[in-house]
Structure 1
Amino acid sequence: MKRNFFSIALLTIAFSAYSQKYEFQTVKDIEATPVTSQGQTGTCWSFSSTSFLEAEIIRTSGKQIDLSEMYNVRHTYPKKAWNYVMRQGKAQFSEGGLNHDVIDSAIGFGIVPLSAYSGLVGNATTLDHSKMASELETLLKPYADPSKKLGSKWKKEVSDILDNYMGADVAEFTYEGKKYTPKSFLEMTKLKLEDYVTISSFTHEPFYKKFILDIPDNFSNGSFYNLPLDEFIQNIDNALENGYTLALDADVSERTFSAKSGIAVIPENEADNKTILTEIKKEKNITPEFRQQEFENFNTTDDHLMHIVGKLKDQKGNIYYKVKNSWGTDNGNGGYVYMSVPYMKLKAISVLVNKNALSKKTQKEVGL
């Protein structure tokens, strides 16, 4: 009997050692603005990029400025409409976009604080673009039909719809007692928009070259620097180690991406899909070949954009990236997702980063 109790005790100890609840310790935490919510909109790309720019302002000046996400959304929609009409409806028109779209908008139209442009009209307290996006697409479809020859009246009509749902564009405003235009406000922040580059890793294009990634939301044909997978991850780590955050585009369709649990992992065994959200389990080894396969068979798609602001480790020493989400604070970890290295290697489409945060080797290889 004593021997049986002893055996059960050993099994219990072994099981508890194998199945441990997550306990996280901060490795690197870079100051950023608080988690917010994108509401009922498909504008994660602007929330991700805007949060990234806010962190860049903090890094360079120590000043927290709550920037308007909707200002750059307001200036990106006409570009989407142009792309859709001039491609005669043979392009996607949606709420989606990518990190470089905010950079492009800021270069062209500047930036403003949230106090100057909220994107809310009337008594609205939360963002909701479902009707606006549908109305814009309905408007544009006949203009995209070359047989109808309707001219370019759609430009004014698009602007009217945006004004109706988001508010009129802003040309001048006051911030902390000073008057600014969107471009003079950008100058005040001292952001160097030409310093931001996007890196990625795919085997169907040459490494260390720029390429246009063929994903639906890349309507503006933005370019990406292509790196070997290990070097892609090394540059994410290098940026964080040196105090730079990164804007992330990733697939979040996996069952093991859980905003509720605040965890994103890739288990080695599918049987662990549920338990791995609360307990440490062994994760899959991600190779460049497997990453490419999952991209080409559409298991990895351009789903959601977020903001990498730090690193953590669990009690077994496994490393996770601290990723700021834009789905509010009611989710696990206060709105942050702790993303494992295997998840990042497999599911990260790209990251936007300051070129000075890249390793010297990478800068040399890509010619920066």
Structure 2
Amino acid sequence: MSELSEEMIEKYTQSLNETPINKVLKDAIMTNGINGAALDNNSIVAMNPVFSEEIETGEVANQKKSGRCWIFAALNTFRHKISERFNIKEDFELSQNYMMFWDKLEKSNYFLDSIIKTLEEPLDGRLLSWLLTHPQQDGGQWDMLVALVDKYGVVPKQVMPETYQSSQSKELNSILDAKLRQCARDLRQSYEKEGKSKKELEDAKINMLDDIYTILAFALGEPPKTFDFEYRDKEGDFHSDENLSPQGFFKKYVEKNLDDYVSIINAPTKDKPYNKTYTVKFLGNVVNGRQIKYLNVDMKTLKALALEQIKDGETVWFGCDVSRYSDRKIGILDPDLYDYEAAFSTHFNLTKAERLDYKESMLTHAMVLTGVNLLDGEPDRWKVENSWGEDVGHKGYFVMSDNWMDEYTYQIVINKKYLSGDLLKAWEQEPIELDPWDPMGSLALTK
């Protein structure tokens, strides 16, 4: 084992100062920050927010200080169709708070169920450490959203609007995690010290969830069982639909068979061959709900599937690593946006597979593809609907280069009617189970 020596540090100092341009670069970065100094204006010019294929989607939503991007993105794909079919005004939204309530209650049950399943695991083992790190959180995946909709339906935002805590979830998450870790301790000690059976622990879990429900009701409000849906269309005509259930509303207004939609991923690591399906152990929210399932394909196939759905007039939910080579203010996602190599006179050359393997990148955020620009039939940039409000990007919309799509997009959700016969056959395979800490087990939760 070697330590830093004075000779080594002197060598680094000489290397830095023997190149005259380094003083200019250092001053620029210290004054303007790394991204400000490394910004490449050629990227800004190239990422023109005009697209040959574009779906009209209206105003963007705002998840504010919460990690519910996956919920916002999914509900946005639903409302696009509702607004189109029923000619509803552009500011119409579905209730993200409603989905948040049920998600957190279901995740709490899923966590406690996982604790009961792992009673024989050592408390200091990797699995228990992983489970206890985040008993629940804001993040999620497409299949988790489907599991919630299947069980609870959806409601308009006017029926269950945002609350202080739904838009700023840090305090709520802290309280819930503290309570759930306490419940985990009680369940394990009841088993280890008192010898209680799993049936007795299941009964105890039911009582524990009473407290979780109360916390959620106080913070988010109670979800409605029935409601009236009232709105004016773009012509100003008033409509009223009375005594709807959340499931009935979804069936009538969203009119989407979610069983037809599948998750396609691009994870080019050696341990995940293409044209195989994958799931992740201990990842989910609804016990006995829809299983997390991905079909891994090459990037060319993934983009072709997204393009087909957009051309048919339907937006595409997708998952990516939004923090990489992106600028919120100008709304650009492009690997050429910042020239870090020139700024620091070094190289950054991990491949997409290596970034996954070495924990440099993973899926962190979900958004919606609403358009694409084709150049000689091939995409060169994509239109992205975000959920960070209208003060970022182009009134909330981003431009994503096709190169950024290749490098930092990991997942899309498309109707399986677009799958070829071979891909459909591949989708029907039983999924290979991945460990909970696999990078494909990451959740979309960026704020």
TM, length-normalised to structure 2 = 0.67
Q: Which residue of 1 aligns with 2:137?
A: 94
Query: How far 1:345 sits from its partner (Å)?
Result: 1.4
Superposed CA deviations along residues 25-84 of structure 1, whole A, max 9, x for unmatched, are 321111224201101111111101110122243566665652111211111112211232
Residue 68 of structure 1 aligns with an amino acid whose one-letter code is S
Determine if the alignment matches structure 1 residue 76 to structure 2 residue 103: yes
Q: Which residue of 1 aligns with 2:45?
A: 21
Q: Percent identity?
A: 20
Whether the 8 Å contact between 1:173 and 1:179 is mirrored in structure 2 is yes
Superposed CA deviations along residues 124-172 of structure 1, whole A, max 9, x for unmatched, are 4982211111110011101112333382222111111110111012101
Determine if the alignment matches structure 1 residue 351 to structure 2 residue 412: yes
Instruction: Name the CA shift for 1:331/1:155 in 2 (closer, same or farther; >3 Å).
Output: same
Instruction: Name the CA shift for 1:134/1:296 in 2 (closer, same or farther; >3 Å).
Output: same
Whether the 8 Å contact between 1:33 and 1:54 is mirrored in structure 2 is no
Q: Which residue of 1 aligns with 2:399?
A: 338
Secondary structure in 2 matching 1:332? coil
Q: Which residue of 1 aligns with 2:365?
A: 304
Q: Which residue of 2 aligns with 1:209?
A: 276
Secondary structure in 2 matching 1:308? strand
Matches within 5 A, 1:215-230: 222-230=292-300
Secondary structure in 2 matching 1:238? helix
Determine if the alignment matches structure 1 residue 160 to structure 2 residue 214: yes
Larger radius of gyration: 2
Whether the 8 Å contact between 2:262 and 2:415 is mirrored in structure 1 is yes
Whether the 8 Å contact between 2:295 and 2:426 is mirrored in structure 1 is no
Aligned counterparts of 2:258 and 2:422: Cα–Cα separation in 1 = 22
Whether the 8 Å contact between 1:207 and 1:226 is mirrored in structure 2 is yes
Instruction: Name the CA shift for 1:261/1:197 in 2 (closer, same or farther; >3 Å).
Output: same
Secondary structure in 2 matching 1:82? helix
Matches within 5 A, 1:31-110: 31-58=56-83, 66-88=93-115, 90-91=130-131, 92=134, 93-110=136-153
Query: How far 1:21 sits from its partner (Å)?
Result: 2.6
1:244 to 314, 321, 331: 314
Aligned counterparts of 2:245 and 2:352: Cα–Cα separation in 1 = 44
Please list every run of 5 or more consecutive structure 1 residues that lacks an aligned counterpart in the other structure: 1-16, 275-283
Residue 69 of structure 1 aligns with an amino acid whose one-letter code is Q
Matches within 5 A, 1:249-264: 249-254=319-324, 256-264=325-333
Instruction: Name the CA shift for 1:70/1:357 in 2 (closer, same or farther; >3 Å).
Output: farther
Secondary structure in 1 matching 2:387? coil
Secondary structure in 2 matching 1:199? strand
Determine if the alignment matches structure 1 residue 200 to structure 2 residue 265: yes
Q: Which residue of 1 aligns with 2:226?
A: 172
Query: How far 1:330 sits from its partner (Å)?
Result: 0.6
Superposed CA deviations along residues 186-217 of structure 1, whole A, max 9, x for unmatched, are 11122212111111122432332321157x97
Q: Which residue of 2 aligns with 1:11?
A: none
Determine if the alignment matches structure 1 residue 138 to structure 2 residue 174: no
Whether the 8 Å contact between 1:97 and 1:217 is mirrored in structure 2 is no
Segments ≥4 residues shifted beyond 4 Å: 17-20, 58-65, 216-221, 357-361
Secondary structure in 2 matching 1:81? helix
Residue 161 of structure 1 aligns with an amino acid whose one-letter code is I
Residue 322 of structure 2 aligns with an amino acid whose one-letter code is V
Q: Which residue of 1 aligns with 2:249?
A: 185
Query: How far 1:304 sits from its partner (Å)?
Result: 1.1
Q: Which residue of 1 aligns with 2:189?
A: 148
TM, length-normalised to structure 1 = 0.81
Determine if the alignment matches structure 1 residue 112 to structure 2 residue 155: yes
Query: How far 1:270 sits from its partner (Å)?
Result: 3.7
Whether the 8 Å contact between 1:323 and 1:337 is mirrored in structure 2 is yes
Superposed CA deviations along residues 279-321 of structure 1, whole A, max 9, x for unmatched, are xxxxx9x9xx92221111122212111111112379xx97111
Residue 187 of structure 1 aligns with an amino acid whose one-letter code is K
Residue 273 of structure 2 aligns with an amino acid whose one-letter code is P
Whether the 8 Å contact between 1:46 and 1:70 is mirrored in structure 2 is no
Superposed CA deviations along residues 311-336 of structure 1, whole A, max 9, x for unmatched, are 2379xx97111111111111121111
Number of residue pairs the alignment of both structures matches: 334
Please list every run of 5 or more consecutive structure 2 residues that lacks an aligned counterpart in the other structure: 1-40, 116-127, 191-200, 231-239, 430-447
